[in-house]
Amino acid sequence: MLLGAWVPMIDRPGRAALADHLRRLASGRLTNAEFDSVRLDHSDDEALVAIGDAGWSLYDDFFVYRLRGRRALKPHSFEVRPGGICEEVLGAG
């Protein structure tokens, strides 16, 4: 390895936690405020931060609610499918 070479940081516990919280947010088991309180914006794992930001785009933060009923996600809003990027990066499944 070259001295000073950039080595990507992979935060596996952080990715597992984010995957769990995204599933709970998307299924309506977690409020938007609860999701905001566990986001990992300050991780050295760039993928973790980017996917956390994508999760933040699923709701607004004007008031506290769950993604249920008329606020439930549409099937195309946030697709976590076998072989999808979220499964590969976060280990979702």
How confident is the model over 61-72, as a mean pLDDT? 91
Please say if the pLDDT value at position 42 is more than 90.
Answer: no
Of 79 and 19, the one with more pLDDT? 19
How confident is the model over 37-47, as a mean pLDDT? 78
Q: Could you tell me if residue 28 is left (phi over 0), alpha (psi between -120 and 50 degrees) or otherwise beta?
A: left
Q: How many CA atoms lie within 13 A of 87 on its CB side?
A: 7
pLDDT at 64: 95
Of 3 and 81, the one with more pLDDT? 3
Q: Which of 61, 57, 66 is nearest to 31 (CA)?
A: 66
Counts of helices then strands in the chain (DSSP H, E): 4, 0
Least confident span in 24-33, 34-43, 62-71, 78-87: 78-87
> Going by C-beta distance under 8 Å and a sequence separation of 6 or more, which residues neighbour residue 36?
56, 61
